[in-house]
């Protein structure tokens, strides 16, 4: 029937399961060589931030791959000196293989100054100066889990990006910009022609016109509708916002940037929220920890 179109739902769980499976095997192989367990320390300020939700997911997935997770809470009003000495101590500790730092941090704490103290292999979210600089040169030791996750979903479902027009919405140094650099890099998962849009972008519809793949890393529910998304485009919805749960149920629920109902039957493919990029990000974080562990144990050759 003209005008109808089936939108493929790019579920995150099968992608996450594949990453968990290969990561667990890598841990088993290292353990069989007598290596100690990989240890991830998640440094956070405590309290009901979005990071608390992320930490719950880490608690669930870490045992599945054989990573030991050690949450490390700082006082809610921690001073910069406390944060920096905590990270420097973790960086020196040979029994710690990966360090994740809550983001964003409240002022006057400076996330980049803190995470920049970590050795690149321990900086498991690829957020420090060293990894960001290496990403520009196409040689990161660690890259942000969320950006690797967004790219892994497309690879898993066989959606090409090489030679395609990709638009990244969002230019933060932790999500949008590293993703744009990853898509632009030469070789597997990259080679896209990349446009980056942001809050000052005028006329989003004209920027998105002709794009094949759209990565939305904004955090504005309802940003992507048929009005701006070209027909048949793939939408990877990285954005997560919390909205009140529907009438009759308590609490809040996560929603993406895409208006999934409006795009159904219009977009070529769409990642759901929840259940899209989120679970893949947690799995990818564990893969990064194990990568750092292998480097520190001296067993990684590439």
| Among 33, 48, 187, 199, contact with ligand NAP (rule: CB under 6 A) | 199
215 within 8 A of 166, measured Cβ to Cβ: yes
**Helices (H) then strands (E): counts for the chain:** 10, 11
DSSP designation for 129: H
Q: How far is the CB of 277 from ligand NAP (least distance, A)?
A: 4
Query: Cα(147)–Cα(150) distance, rounded to whole angstroms?
Result: 5
| Among 26, 175, 208, 236, contact with ligand NAP (rule: CB under 6 A) | 175
178 within 8 A of 147, measured Cβ to Cβ: yes
| Among 131, 281, 288, 296, contact with ligand NAP (rule: CB under 6 A) | 281
Placement of tokens 């995150």 in the chain: 12
- Positive or negative, the Cα torsion across 24, 58, 177, 160? positive
Q: Which two tokens stand for residue 228?
A: 């701006």
Query: Cα(176)–Cα(181) distance, rounded to whole angstroms?
Result: 9
From 62-70, 117-125, 237-245, 288-296, span contacting ligand NAP (CB under 6 A): 237-245
SS3 46: coil
| Among 23, 58, 131, 174, contact with ligand NAP (rule: CB under 6 A) | 174
Query: Cα(214)–Cα(201) distance, rounded to whole angstroms?
Result: 15
From 22-30, 179-187, 211-219, 294-302, span contacting ligand NAP (CB under 6 A): 211-219
Q: Which two tokens stand for residue 19?
A: 């990453």
Contact characters 85-124, ligand NAP, x per CB under 6 A: ----------------------------------------
Nearer to ligand NAP, 128 or 219 (CB): 219
SS3 298: coil
Q: How far is the CB of 95 from ligand NAP (least distance, A)?
A: 28
Nearer to ligand NAP, 83 or 197 (CB): 197
> Considering the rule CB under 6 A, would residue 260 count as an interface residue with ligand NAP?
no
Query: Cα(191)–Cα(182) distance, rounded to whole angstroms?
Result: 9
Size of the site for ligand NAP (CB under 6 A): 26
61 within 8 A of 88, measured Cβ to Cβ: no
| Among 176, 178, 268, 292, contact with ligand NAP (rule: CB under 6 A) | 176
Nearer to ligand NAP, 9 or 220 (CB): 220
| Among 239, 269, 288, 291, contact with ligand NAP (rule: CB under 6 A) | 239
Q: How far is the CB of 215 from ligand NAP (least distance, A)?
A: 10
> Considering the rule CB under 6 A, would residue 219 count as an interface residue with ligand NAP?
yes
Q: Which two tokens stand for residue 109?
A: 């704490």
Helix, strand, coil percentages, rounded to 5, for the chain:
35, 15, 45
DSSP designation for 169: E
| Among 132, 240, 285, 295, contact with ligand NAP (rule: CB under 6 A) | 240
> Considering the rule CB under 6 A, would residue 180 count as an interface residue with ligand NAP?
no
Nearer to ligand NAP, 57 or 72 (CB): 57
The C-alpha angle with vertex 76 and arms to 70 and 78, in degrees rounded to 5, equals 90
Query: Cα(184)–Cα(23) distance, rounded to whole angstroms?
Result: 26
> Considering the rule CB under 6 A, would residue 218 count as an interface residue with ligand NAP?
yes
Nearer to ligand NAP, 70 or 220 (CB): 220
Site for ligand NAP, rule CB under 6 A: 146, 169-172, 174-176, 197-201, 204, 217-220, 223, 238-241, 277-278, 281
């Amino acid at each position: 029937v003209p005008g109808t179109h089936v939108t493929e739902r790019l579920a995150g769980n099968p992608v996450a399961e594949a990453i968990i499976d290969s990561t667990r095997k890598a841990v088993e192989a290292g353990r069989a060589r007598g290596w100690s367990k990989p240890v991830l320390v998640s440094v956070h300020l405590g309290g009901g931030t979005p990071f608390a939700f992320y930490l719950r997911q880490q608690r669930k997935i870490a045992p599945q791959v054989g990573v030991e997770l050690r949450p490390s809470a700082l006082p809610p009003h921690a001073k910069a000196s406390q944060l920096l000495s905590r990270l420097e101590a973790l960086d020196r500790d040979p029994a710690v293989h990966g360090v994740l730092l809550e983001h964003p941090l409240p002022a006057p704490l400076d996330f980049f100054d803190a995470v920049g103290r970590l050795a690149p292999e321990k900086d498991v979210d690829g957020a420090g100066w060293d990894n960001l600089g290496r990403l520009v040169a196409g040689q990161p030791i660690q890259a942000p889990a969320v950006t690797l996750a967004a790219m892994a979903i497309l690879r898993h479902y066989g959606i090409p990006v090489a030679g395609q027009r990709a638009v990244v919405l969002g230019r933060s140094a932790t999500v949008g910009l590293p993703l744009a650099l990853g898509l632009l890099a030469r070789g597997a998962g990259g080679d896209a022609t990349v446009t980056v849009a942001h809050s000052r972008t005028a006329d989003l519809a004209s920027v998105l016109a002709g794009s094949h793949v759209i990565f939305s890393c904004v955090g504005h529910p309802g940003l992507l509708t048929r009005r701006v998304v070209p027909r048949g485009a793939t939408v990877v919805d990285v954005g997560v916002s919390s909205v009140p749960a529907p009438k009759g149920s308590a609490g809040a629920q996560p929603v993406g940037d895409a208006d999934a109902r409006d795009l159904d039957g219009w977009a070529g493919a769409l990642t759901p929220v929840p259940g899209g990029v989120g679970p893949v990000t947690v799995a990818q974080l564990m893969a990064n920890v194990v990568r750092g562990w292998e480097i520190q144990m001296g067993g990684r050759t590439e």
